[in-house]
Chain A
Amino acid sequence: MASGSASMARKLAFAMYGLLNPIPFGMFVAALIFDIIYLRTGEVLWNKAAAWLIPFGLIVAIVPRFINLGFVWAGRRATATRIDKLDFWLNLVAVVAAIFNAFVHSRDAYATMPAGVWLSAITVALLAIGHLLIGAQAASAEATP
């Protein structure tokens, strides 16, 4: 019974992770695109839009990051691979970059540039590497039954 409910909780956590984890990545990618447009045009709409996306991305990231922490480091059966651990750290550094970026984006007008676009690029790059590694790991797991 106890293991049954634990397994239910694990399934729920998996489902929540699958639902929420892509959202911050999408927001940070959008912020990067808006930052590049702002860098090139100076049109303040893009700067302000990016300034909202980054903190919202961080807020949405809280739950999936904690679920990931549990999966990678608290699995009793030690199922986490080196890639899973690397993905965890890439995400952590990306979150730190995004926190700094949220503050950089609170500056007025062009004072967000160029630091803002660099931090957005770093955030997206780190998350993208994590996604690629996890994706490749899943593909190779499928290939070798």
Chain B
Amino acid sequence: MSTTLRWSVLTIAMSMAIAGCGGKASLDPAQQSGAAPDMPAAKNFLVPPMQVPDKAGWKDGQTPKVADGLHIEKIAGDLMHPRQLYTLPNGDVLVVESNGPGTEAVTTPKQLIAGKVKNLSGKGAKGGDRITLLRPNATGSWDKHVFLEHLHSPFGVQLIGDALYVANTDAILKYPYQSGATEISAPGVEFADLPGTVNHHWTKALLASPDGTKLYVGVGSNSNVGENGLEVEYRRAVVLEVDVASRGSRIYASGIRNPTGLGWEPVTGRLWAIANERDEIGADLVPDYLTSVQDGAFYGWPYSYYGANVDQRVYPQRPDMVAKAIKPDYALGSHVAALGVLFSASNALPEKYQGGAFVAEHGSWDRSPLSGYAVVHVAFKDGKPMGAPETLVSGFYSDDEKQLFGAPVGLAQDKDGALLIADDVGNTVWRVSKQ
């Protein structure tokens, strides 16, 4: 019997081991950046490539690393999952402390297991559902005020005149704001509803048009690639345009899997977005991107990526939609998880960081070795991105890739032109300035 038992156990153990082998990345992020990234063929796995460092947090005095010529300092700590930053006209900085509402039902065994694995990194920590205000004081440090509480997984925040718009996960709320206020106690008015069911991707990025007549909202998909049924994708994976006067909204652009950040390119005045592309078809697929967002355009999700690269996981296949899909402008690298974008015409950083986009890369579970976990700068020329992204802030994980100290998310520029970075794993706001 013992021989049989041994053989049986060995057979089962071996089949589980074979099933457990995920793939490793063979391309580095620089090879997968720019207008025409290298892309291998899509592959289905038994277990997708996976690597999740454990949350360690920052030790006292420990900071991320910055590129030569830069200086980094911590301006606020002990926050509750800070995701987004927004600088008010008087120089106060709003810190949106938030995380997903946890309303997505567990409908597959994978969700049950993957949820536990991903949370090891600290990315699933409870959000504060509030906004904290930071104000620089005479001593050079920053005072912290609780600005707005009892929100519902807020993300985007924009000021138009004396109205502050906050994008909760299910609605845009409007609050009265007076310059210099350190607190808003007036109740918010629901300004416009947003797609709020399931909330597989829950963040609602928000951007006002320069003339204050429109609000643009980045709404992520309700699945990786349609596995929750296409009926839950109504008004999902889109950029919505909300008319501020009428409060009506329309789909401005679609097929963008998870547009987590929006910005105005300063030279052309065009709308741009960062987006997180699909998972589980390879460590080198699909590169996340930075793109101009054209009115009425379709960017492929879920049927295809980068134009006509068809995703076989979607049923039914839609060659008619694939034919319509346009290519995004600029790849950032696979699974870097771009979660913050800041276009900066001018700032107080060295010359090479002028006029271009800063992108915060949060890092993803679906890649080995790790990629992202950095803030990069994409140079622009005549309103178009050029060259490879250049890393200015890194060192968010240990050299052995086992421990995670922090992860960059939202970006803003303070009134002195320094770059501010929200770090939702380290619960910190960092300030990067010229050395």
Alpha-carbon distance A45/B226, docked complex (angstroms): 12
Q: B197 within 8 Å of A by Cβ?
A: no
Q: B316 within 8 Å of A by Cβ?
A: yes
Q: A14 within 8 Å of B by Cβ?
A: no
Q: B67 within 8 Å of A by Cβ?
A: no
Instruction: Identify which of residues 63-120 in chain A touch chain B, using a CB-to-CB cut-off of 8 Å.
Output: 69-70, 72-74, 88, 92, 95-96, 99-100, 102-104, 106-111, 113, 115
Shortest A48–chain B CB gap in Å is 5
Residues from chain A with a CB closer than 8 A to the CB of B19 are 99-100, 103
Query: Is B313 touching A109 in the complex (CB atoms < 8 A)?
Result: yes
Q: A44 within 8 Å of B by Cβ?
A: yes
| A36-54 Cβ-contact flags toward B at 8 Å (1 or 0) | 0000001111011001100
Q: Which of A45, A69, A99, A107 contacts B280 (CB 8 A)?
A: A107
| B226-251 Cβ-contact flags toward A at 8 Å (1 or 0) | 11110000000000000000000000
Q: A55 within 8 Å of B by Cβ?
A: yes
Query: Is B4 touching A69 in the complex (CB atoms < 8 A)?
Result: yes
Residues from chain B with a CB closer than 8 A to the CB of A103 are 19, 46-47
Query: Is A69 touching B8 in the complex (CB atoms < 8 A)?
Result: yes
Q: B179 within 8 Å of A by Cβ?
A: no
Residues from chain A with a CB closer than 8 A to the CB of B107 are 48
Q: Main secondary structure on chain A at its contact with chain B?
A: helix
Q: Which of A55, A99, A104 contacts B12 (CB 8 A)?
A: A99
Instruction: Identify which of residues 303-338 in chain B touch chain A, using a CB-to-CB cut-off of 8 Å.
Output: 312-316
Alpha-carbon distance A72/B1, docked complex (angstroms): 8
Q: B70 within 8 Å of A by Cβ?
A: no
Query: Is B110 touching A106 in the complex (CB atoms < 8 A)?
Result: yes
Query: Is B1 touching A74 in the complex (CB atoms < 8 A)?
Result: yes
Alpha-carbon distance A102/B19, docked complex (angstroms): 10
Residues from chain B with a CB closer than 8 A to the CB of A51 are 108-110
Residues from chain B with a CB closer than 8 A to the CB of A111 are 44, 280, 312-313
Alpha-carbon distance A75/B227, docked complex (angstroms): 48
Residues from chain A with a CB closer than 8 A to the CB of B225 are 108-109
Residues from chain B with a CB closer than 8 A to the CB of A107 are 44-45, 280, 313
Q: From A100, A107, A115, name the one whose CB has the most chain B CB atoms within 10 angstroms.
A: A107
What would 22 A/B residue contacts be, using CB atoms closer than 8 Å? A42-B315, A42-B316, A43-B229, A44-B229, A48-B107, A55-B109, A72-B4, A92-B8, A92-B11, A95-B12, A96-B11, A96-B15, A100-B15, A103-B46, A106-B108, A106-B109, A108-B225, A109-B225, A109-B227, A109-B314, A109-B315, A110-B313
Instruction: State the 4 A-B residue pairs at the shortest beta-carbon distance, nearest first.
Output: A42-B315, A103-B46, A73-B1, A108-B227
